[in-house]
């Protein structure tokens, strides 16, 4: 069965660079789908020792999620992804994987890596997400960076703040280090854009 193959843009659940999607048409009927579900979960338990009602642990080498007539497998290694593909090849609707070893290494870096065609707003490589959805915290961050940026000679293109999402965008790695030192206690996570053309 032919299926779409795409380059992975992020680590799923902060852990898995490989994603294999299985889809079934509702026309197969609920009983047949239940049989498929049981087959999939039995295979996972047999090969990985993971029972269907076990609470997911981050050190597991795979993860399985279920939605309407579909499943998603997430794998830590290509070997595990290949095993899943070999077993369920007739039901696969999509496969996401790193394009090459360099792509994989980039995804595994400390920052949350987002692989895109363009920088954020065509200017910014880094995006901070504020820890709280508290407008007072956002105001404090905005006021700090406005004052610091003004004193440091930053231009309007060096940073930006999006009030709709509480996101702070930074252009330069040197500015990034300053912001991390000053605002780390108010930042939930950092995203870094790697352009497809750079891989």
Q: Which residues have CB under 8 Å from 173's CB, separation 6+?
A: 125, 126
Say yes or no: 45 and 89 in one domain: yes
| Residue that terminates a domain, selected from 41, 73, 108 | 108
Q: Report the share of the chain in percent with pLDDT over 70.
A: 93
Specify the pLDDT at position 177. Answer: 66
Handedness of CA 141, 147, 150, 156 (dihedral sign): positive
Specify the pLDDT at position 59. Answer: 67
Domain span at 121: 116-198
Say yes or no: 8 and 103 in one domain: yes
Please give the Cα distance from 57 to 73 (Å, whole number). Answer: 15
Say yes or no: 154 and 74 in one domain: no
60-119 tens-digit pLDDT: 889 988 888 889 999 988 999 999 999 999 889 999 998 888 778 767 765 778 888 999
Total residues found in the chain within this entry:
199
25 in Cβ contact with 69 (< 8 Å): yes
Say yes or no: 93 and 177 in one domain: no
If one compares 134 and 6, the residue with the highest pLDDT of the two is 6
Specify the pLDDT at position 1. Answer: 58
Domain count of the chain? 2
Name the 3-class secondary structure at 68: coil
């Amino acid at each position: 069965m032919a299926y779409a193959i795409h380059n992975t843009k992020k680590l799923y659940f902060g852990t898995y660079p490989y994603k294999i999607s299985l889809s079934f048409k509702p026309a197969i009927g609920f009983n047949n789908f239940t049989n498929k579900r049981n087959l999939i979960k039995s295979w996972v338990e047999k090969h990985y020792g993971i029972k269907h009602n076990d609470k997911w642990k981050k050190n597991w080498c795979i993860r399985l999620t279920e939605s309407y007539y579909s499943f998603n497998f997430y794998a830590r290694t290509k070997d595990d992804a290949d095993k899943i593909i070999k077993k369920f090849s007739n039901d696969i609707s999509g496969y996401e994987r790193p394009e090459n070893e360099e792509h994989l290494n980039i995804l595994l870096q400390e920052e949350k890596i987002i692989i895109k065609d363009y920088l954020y707003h065509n200017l910014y490589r880094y995006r901070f997400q504020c820890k709280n959805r508290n407008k007072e915290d956002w105001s404090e961050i905005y006021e700090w960076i406005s004052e610091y940026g003004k004193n440091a000679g930053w231009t309007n293109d060096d940073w930006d703040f999006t009030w709709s999402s509480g996101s702070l965008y930074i252009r330069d790695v040197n500015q990034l280090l300053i912001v991390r030192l000053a605002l780390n206690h108010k930042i939930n996570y950092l995203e870094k854009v790697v352009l497809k053309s750079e891989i």
